[in-house]
Amino acid sequence: MNNLHREVNKLFKHYPHTPKVMEFKEELFSNLQEKVQDLIKEGYSQQQAIKIAIEDVKDFTIDGVITVNKMQYKTELAQLAFIYSLIGLILSIPLMLYSFGRVFNFCTLIITLGLGIRYVGFKSSAKVIDDEIVVDINKIKSMKKLIWILWGTLFTVIIITATAVQFGSNVWFGTAIKVDGPYALGELLSRYYMPLITILIPFYFNHTTNFILNYKGDELNEF
């Protein structure tokens, strides 16, 4: 049954070697062995029996794991990343009134241009390259949670630090907090607004997770 084992390995070549996948693989191999033996008893050669058995299970699915077109999948994610970075660029425009805001806006512009070029490259390749990859949905869900935790932690640290730098001396010496006019108020608020824009990062991962969960077979939009 070496030929059968080789064919089963081909079916699972893109799948992660998780305990769940390996258990399913062994169970499938055992079932195929029995089916091949039954087909041989019916008069088929071993090679014919293996071919028939493999054809019957070629489109199997594993819970939590899906197969997607590699380039179309990457193109879709690159498109989402470009859209979110473009939103971030637009949201950062008011910050250009201040020096630190202009730096932030420039960095966002560079990122947006880079992601736009990447998206165009993937879109061109999607029509030519026809390859598949396996996506572990459970792993992506875990990564989404981790991204939110990391962002929440970092955002909290930044806000606390900004507040301490801005108002620490007032609290320490018990002096009144003064804001000299609208410009100073805008600069103060922008120091809280700027890190808030980065919430687009976990939003992006949240969107990509929903996109993957809604993905069925090869139903990605044609590019």
pLDDT per residue as tens, the chain (223 positions) = 567 777 777 777 767 677 777 777 787 788 888 888 888 888 888 888 877 877 777 656 666 677 777 788 888 899 999 999 999 999 999 999 998 899 999 999 999 999 999 999 888 876 666 677 777 777 788 888 999 999 999 999 999 998 988 888 777 777 777 778 888 888 889 989 999 999 999 999 888 877 776 654 444 443 3
Q: Which of 202, 192, 146, 128 is nearest to 165 (CA)?
A: 192
pTM: 0.70
124-128 — which CB contacts under 8 Å span 24+ positions? 125/71, 125/75, 126/69, 126/71, 126/72, 126/74, 126/75, 126/223, 127/223, 128/71
SS3 content of the chain, % helix, strand, coil (to 5): 75, 5, 20
Would you state the structure tokens that stand for residue 95, as one six-digit string? Answer: 């910050």
Q: Which of 134, 125, 123, 91 is nearest to 109 (CA)?
A: 91
Q: 68 pairs with which residues across the strands? A: 133
The residue extents of the domains of the chain are 2-63, 66-214
Would you state the structure tokens that stand for residue 203, as one six-digit string? Answer: 């939003």
